[in-house]
Structure 1
């Protein structure tokens, strides 16, 4: 059956999706309708997802069977890569930067947040992942209502862009990329460790369609959206993702 299904797929074509704002509402679980649509899409083309979060968080949004529900699953921008349910590659920030430089960055960032005057702060300001550091001025364990409020406050006061500007200048020698994504945080990782990192696992595909909502400069979908290897599509919501995919892949 698997061979027959593979034969029906359009060879050499991959549909690759961001998670937050593309397949799901921000930090929300995927709807049954979207899961059903992805299953249908997978009968026509190879399907992959690439998210900045770790696999645990992606699984919370897309379901515990995520690594078998899609042909490729790239967590942490592809620094942890799965194909057909099997782990095919990992990369480590700790190995790359070393503990001394990591500690210097984390200490400075925590001092900056401590001095930051914003309406509320909660907890988990820094989350260390295998391939990146996630920094949240308000703290990741705030409520959904507090997330929404901070997002509005940030748009008015540029809390994250200002913080990124300071860190970029202070740690220029580390050649880091700062990528603002989601509602409350930004990711920090070595240059080239953005979502384009996952493309090294996709050499066999002649046509890679990438769908993401934060495709603007500074957004965490920008680099892969602009890559010569991809055909980039900006989406505004999960519903928009479905409509665009229908017109590209499922039009009669």
Structure 2
């Protein structure tokens, strides 16, 4: 990478699988490396599918509001800059209550008829800019989460449900994205992680925008921003990959 000033480079990071292992807390040694070595060299931001509270859980609390220049929860449908919320979109206003209830009712009926090795609780989570659907239920344990992930890899539970939703709601402005181990996101077309780039381009002018993510295949929730021509893409599998690439990129 050319010698650019901190305010000319933006490094954007997914959370799960990129800064942390899935649904776990950031490791202290990686956190120390990130804040002491990376933060002084570039403007840094996170863009994740989860809400802000889950980002707090995984990245050691509200200090991220001070540490990160940009925080984009819910695919960037919530925009936080310099620790303050500066924008938010609403899927409820976009779709309308009638369509929203039609969709939720279908999801609940589908899940009620779905047979899995186990089910727990909280199958649909309603967020500002999206809905998150979890066939096993988000109240599962770590062991149950891993078990479902393996089962889903073999049986394509989430892919089959997305196919059914795509057929049933072909008339509705919705798209579907698999992220993490156990769930998938539902949001209007264009409300993927590239949404955060709208905010960035409107108010800032970076020479380079780098994106780091793990779910970069078609259908993954990093895919659209990964292939976007406005970003320089970095495919990772674990935080160890992220550290290795950052070390090379920044000459650390």
1:38 and 2:34 aligned: yes
Alpha-carbon distance, 1:147 to partner: 0.3
Alpha-carbon distance, 1:250 to partner: 2.7
Contact 1:9 / 1:46 at 8 angstroms: preserved in 2? no
For residues 54-65 of structure 1, the aligned pairs below 5 Å read 54-64=51-61, 65=63
Contact 1:148 / 1:183 at 8 angstroms: preserved in 2? yes
Matches of 2:195 and 2:244, distance apart in 1: 27
Correspondence for 1:12 among 3, 8, 11: 8
1:237 and 2:234 aligned: no
Matches of 1:206 and 1:109, distance apart in 2: 43
Matches of 2:224 and 2:212, distance apart in 1: 12
Matches of 2:179 and 2:6, distance apart in 1: 32
Contact 1:9 / 1:43 at 8 angstroms: preserved in 2? no
Matches of 2:206 and 2:87, distance apart in 1: 18
Structure 2 stretches lacking a partner, 5+ long? none
* TM-score, reference length from structure 2: 0.95
Aligned partner of residue 88 in structure 1, secondary structure: strand
**Residue-by-residue CA offset, 1:158-214 (whole Å, 9 max, x unaligned):** 000000000011111112110001110000000000000000122211211000000
**Residue-by-residue CA offset, 1:45-95 (whole Å, 9 max, x unaligned):** 111000000000111001221121111110001111111111111101111
Contact 1:126 / 1:134 at 8 angstroms: preserved in 2? yes
**Residue-by-residue CA offset, 1:119-174 (whole Å, 9 max, x unaligned):** 11101000001110000010000001000000000000000000000001111111
Matches of 1:191 and 1:178, distance apart in 2: 9
**Residue-by-residue CA offset, 1:19-60 (whole Å, 9 max, x unaligned):** 000000000011111221221201001110000000001110
Aligned partner of residue 188 in structure 1, secondary structure: strand
Aligned residues: 244
Matches of 1:142 and 1:173, distance apart in 2: 33
Matches of 2:6 and 2:70, distance apart in 1: 16
Contact 1:181 / 1:220 at 8 angstroms: preserved in 2? yes
Matches of 1:99 and 1:205, distance apart in 2: 39
Contact 1:47 / 1:71 at 8 angstroms: preserved in 2? yes
Partner of 1:162: 160
* TM-score, reference length from structure 1: 0.95
1:225 and 2:223 aligned: no
Partner of 2:143: 145
Correspondence for 2:121 among 123, 142, 152: 123
Matches of 1:102 and 1:250, distance apart in 2: 49
Matches of 2:49 and 2:206, distance apart in 1: 22
